[in-house]
Structure 1
Amino acid sequence: MTKTILITGCSSGIGRMTAKFFQEKGWNVIATVRDKPEEDTELNALDNVLVTALDVTKLDTIEAAMAAGIERFGAIDVLLNNAGYGAYGILEATPEHKIRMQFDVNVIGPLLCTKVVLPHMRARGEGTIINISSMGGKVTFPLGTLYHGSKFAVEGMSEALSFELAAIGVKVKMIEPGMINTNFAETTGSLLDIDPSQEDYTPFLEKVLAGMQQAGSQHSEPIIVAEAVWKAATDGTDQMRYIAGPDAEQLISARKAMEDPEYLAMVRSNMGL
């Protein structure tokens, strides 16, 4: 039988590319977007694709999207928790609502989506949960206190969850992309929290922003993440983590090989700190 994947965050970037990739491979795809699914002419034109609304911060939309997907295709074999948000900046300058939003979208959202789909997968005795983590769930950079905190949480919760879900035949996997050529960087830049009145941070900020701009050209294309998701969904192994991108390979490998002082010194040197 044709398998079905539900993907959160398909309006652009990794989610959109992965939805099209799986559709081309012959899968049924439940492609979810936050707003106005009927206006997505590209995805709605594809065979075996259901475009429906899902906001990971709203439980009722999660329940409705999954019910619609099961009604349309009969089952959900794979849940891809892809929807993400990146809040960067000086913690002292960050408003409370952005702190909460970072964890609502990147941590609470995947937990809720997983919780909703589990009774269905448990009844079937099989299924796969794939969470989009990041190399930022293994390594850290300045100004990323909230983002890295959320992705480190994804790593921990996914690994811990794998124990209990193995008891019901459900696998948990993670994708760890590096820098990907999506609108994430553009959106993140617009979300950067900096308070000009906090002058003590100014020299630090100038160096970090210059370092980030220099690194901005080292992006991979979203297709490499879609391919990693495909491997995770179909390889039939118990492998838990899939790295996507040469920068992620390099940095995660370096972090494993280094003690904390050595790694932190490397980041400071690269940023000119």
Structure 2
Amino acid sequence: MLKNKVAIVTGASRGIGKAVAFKLAQHEVQVVLFGSSEQIQQSAEELEHLGHRVLAIRGDVARENEVNDCVSKTIEHFGKIDILVNNAGIGFFKDVEATSLEEWQRLFEVNVQGVFLFTKAVLPYMKERGQGTIINIASDVARRTIPKGAAYTASKYAVQGFTGSVAQEVRKLGIRVGTINPGMVDTYFNNTVQGDPQKKDWLKVEDVADAVLYMASAPKHMVVDEVMLHPLIQEYPNV
């Protein structure tokens, strides 16, 4: 069902984004890896070594020219865009009065503006073909709030609201838009180490990648609006 489709995955240098790119490639998707660090090329080389056709582009999701350049190169290289996975994100947890304006702005640039810019850039190509799937990786805090998480939570609520509105705009055009809202995931998030023994019972990046695969491979007549997933050990209010 996904063979020869073309996907852009943002934040694909490591963590969830890398796992998503590898998962899609395993199902014969041609993947464009977009990320801000030098590791993006290494991730692409790992996939190429496994025999997959990929394209690596280094850039900042908050810069419109770099986003548009990625989309243009994808079209030049592969001729189409079937799937966009907006995964790039950053986060921190502080009291409001300890949060600087620069930290707030950068968080929203990456977590919200990046989703907006990539979505805006791919939609004309999806509309032209009357099909496409956009998957936004948000968080379970897009549905609830946590202390010291005002900035991060607000950004994920924004992604959730943006996703719902865009989904209604384009669903009649054959384009599906949805969110995946994971709870605690063992990644490099908030300057932590992936594989830390303290996170052994958290979700794995592959769990989130499986959710992306499920959403992307749904039959054409079906849209998966939202997937929420948590590790069994996580306690949280009703969401």
Structure 2 unmatched runs, 5+: none
For residues 111 and 146 of structure 1, what CA distance do their matches in structure 2 show?
18
Please, which moves more after superposition, 239-248 or 106-115? 239-248
2:160 is aligned, of 149, 155, 173, to 155
Deviation per residue, 1:152-171 (Å, 9 max, x gap): 11111111111111132211
TM-score normalised according to structure 1 size: 0.78
Structure 2 SS opposite 1:246: coil
Partner of 1:140 in structure 2? 145
The alignment's TM-score, normalised by the length of structure 2, stands at 0.88
Is the partner of 1:50 in helix, strand or coil?
strand
Asked if the contact 1:175/1:242 (under 8 Å) is kept, the reply is: yes
Q: How does 1:74-113 map to 2 (within 5 A)?
A: 74-113=79-118
Letter in 1 for 2:206: I
Name the count of aligned residue pairs.
Answer: 228
Would the aligned equivalents of 2:131 and 2:173 in 1 still touch at CA under 8 Å? Answer: yes
Q: CA deviation at 1:91?
A: 1.1
Question: In the alignment, what sits opposite 1:242?
Answer: 227
> Aligned partner of 2:149: which letter?
G
Structure 2: how far apart are the matches of 1:115 and 1:39? 28
Contact kept in structure 2, 1:128 and 1:170, CA below 8 Å: yes
1:92 shift after superposition: 0.6
Query: Which blocks of at least 5 consecutive residues in structure 1 are unaligned?
Result: 189-214, 257-273
Q: State the match for 1:114 in structure 2.
A: 119
1:113 Cα deviation from its structure 2 partner: 0.5
- 2: CA distance between counterparts of 1:44 and 1:93? 44
1:88 and 1:143 in contact (8 A); partners too: yes
Alignment check: 8 A CA contact 1:178 1:247 kept: no
Q: Secondary structure at the match of 1:129?
A: strand
SS of the equivalent of 2:173 reads: coil
Q: Which one of the candidate residues 41, 44, 60 is aligned to 1:55?
A: 60
1:74-115 Cα offsets, whole Å, 9 max, x none, are: 111010000001021011111111010111111111001000
Identity %: 34
RMSD: 2.1
Partners of 1:4 and 1:244 in 2: CA distance: 26
CA contact (8 A) 1:175 1:243 kept: yes
Deviates more, 1:238-247 or 1:54-63: 238-247
State the Cα distance separating 1:218 from its structure 2 match: 4.3
Partner of residue 215, structure 2: 232
Amino acid at match of 1:56: V
Q: Greater shift after overlay, 161-170 or 101-110?
A: 161-170
Aligned to 1:219: 202
Higher helix fraction: Structure 1 or Structure 2? 1
Task: Give the match for residue 24 of structure 2.
Answer: 22
Cα distance, 1:55 vs structure 2? 1.1
Q: Give the CA deviation at 1:24.
A: 0.9
Q: Which has the larger radius of gyration?
A: 1
